[in-house]
Amino acid sequence: MEVRPKRLNEMWLFEEQTHNMKLGLRMTQVLRNIKSQYQDLLVVETPEYGKAMVLDGAIQVTERDEFCYHEMMSHLALCSHPNPEKVLIVGGGDGGTLREVLRHDAVKEAYLVDIDEEVIRAARDFFPTLSCAMDDPRARVLPMDALKFIEDNKETFDVVIVDSTDPVEFAAGLFEAPFYANVHRSLREDGFIVCQTESPFSDPHVVTGAYEALKQVFKVVKLAVGFMPTYPTGFWTYGIGTKGLDPAEVRRPAPEGTRYYSHDIHRAAFVLPPFLKAMLG
Ligand code: SAM
């Protein structure tokens, strides 16, 4: 059956979130539409969620809800690690995670390693509220493959945040045990890894696959959950591994003015519904 748009000149952005489900956002303007060396990159204006960046058809950030995701990606680890001084962000070329990481005064240095320079450029051109921390003197922005970076890395980090695209093509290795082992080697004794691990409704195999792979490498592995409206199903998971510390424990203050994260949210995020516990075995 064909469903006709109400107005002929309406433009819609559709993300195919599973083979049988799409999210649609009405858009009013296309601001950038290019093929980078690695992926199709689209920046559009939408009335509902503000500007949105889309890579290979998948929404990465929207101005309206990005805080839900970036605050969880950053503060779950940075408020649990006793003294996070040096942080590595894998992917995250939009700058949102970097912005949140650098809200912590304890952080002395933060690396952002994204394979695609065009994502970084688009963030600087269209998303100043996300990319604002890229010029912070504590930030080091490196356009390169993070798999290669971590393989060759001789530095040590307190926290590694894997803010990647879905596990396909050049991002697939970022969800696998050999990569986690290289991260483990690069982490100090109190070190944390945090990974975006998708939705248990649209991509249950990614949630369980990443969780199992983390468990092969890290002594303590926990899953946290949160809301993220424009990601598939809006129900998101974060996989966290440490060398012994309990990531559900809060050890440090949150930055002032967070809009999603709080210490109560931190503790609650690790309380999993029974269906998800069962899924993790
Ligand atoms: N959390 C967002 C999501 O799930 O939609 C991801 C946001 S961020 C824009 C994802 C970034 O990961 C992209 O800019 C992409 O270029 C980067 N990326 C994917 N694979 C990578 C790799 N192997 N090394 C470095 N960056 C990578």
What tens digit of pLDDT does each residue of 110-147 get? 999 999 999 999 999 999 999 999 999 999 999 999 99
DSSP state of 132: G
CATH code: domain 11-62 is 2.30.140.10
Mutate to test the pocket of ligand 1, among 16, 97, 114 (most ligand atoms within 8 A of CB): 114
Q: Ligand 1: residues whose CB is within 6 Å? A: 55, 58, 60, 90-94, 113-116, 119, 145-147, 163-165, 170-171, 174, 196
Q: Where in the chain is the domain with CATH 2.30.140.10?
A: 11-62
Residues of the chain with pLDDT under 70: 1-8
Question: How far apart are the C-alpha atoms of 12 and 65, rounded to whole Å?
Answer: 19
**Which pLDDT score is estimated for 4?**
61
CA of 116 to the centre of ligand 1 (A): 8
Cα dist from 226 to 68, 69, 111, 276, whole Å: 8, 8, 25, 13
Question: How far apart are the C-alpha atoms of 128 and 63, rounded to whole Å?
Answer: 10
Short-list 279, 125, 137, 123, CA closest to 205 = 279
Q: Which residues are annotated as a binding site for S-methyl-5'-thioadenosine?
A: 39, 114, 145-146
CA-proximal residue: ligand 1, atom 1 (nearest): 163
CA-proximal residue: ligand 1, atom 3 (nearest): 60
Reduced to 3 states (helix: H, G, I; strand: E, B; else coil), residue 120 is helix
CA-proximal residue: ligand 1, atom 27 (nearest): 91
**Which pLDDT score is estimated for 10?**
84
Question: How far apart are the C-alpha atoms of 39 and 258, rounded to whole Å?
Answer: 32
Q: Which of 65, 116, 163, 203 is catalytic?
A: 163
Task: Write down the number of H helices and E strands in the chain.
Answer: 9, 13
**Which pLDDT score is estimated for 6?**
62
Scan for tokens 């590595």, then name that residue: 88
Concerning whether 116 is annotated as a catalytic residue, the answer is: no
ipTM over 0.95: yes
**Which pLDDT score is estimated for 167?**
87
Q: What is the pTM of this model?
A: 0.96
**Chain-centroid distance, C-alpha 125:** 20
Q: Which residues are annotated as a binding site for spermidine?
A: 70, 94, 163-166
**Which pLDDT score is estimated for 222?**
98
Query: For the domain 66-280, what is the CATH superfamily, name and number?
Result: Vaccinia Virus protein VP39 (3.40.50.150)
CA of 157 to the centre of ligand 1 (A): 20
**Which pLDDT score is estimated for 7?**
66
Q: Where in the chain is the domain with CATH 3.40.50.150?
A: 66-280
Backbone dihedral angles phi then psi of residue 62, each to the nearest 5 degrees: -130, 150
Max Cα distance, the chain (Å)? 59
* CB contact burial 151-167 (16+ within 10 A = b; e otherwise): eebeeebbbbbbbbbbb
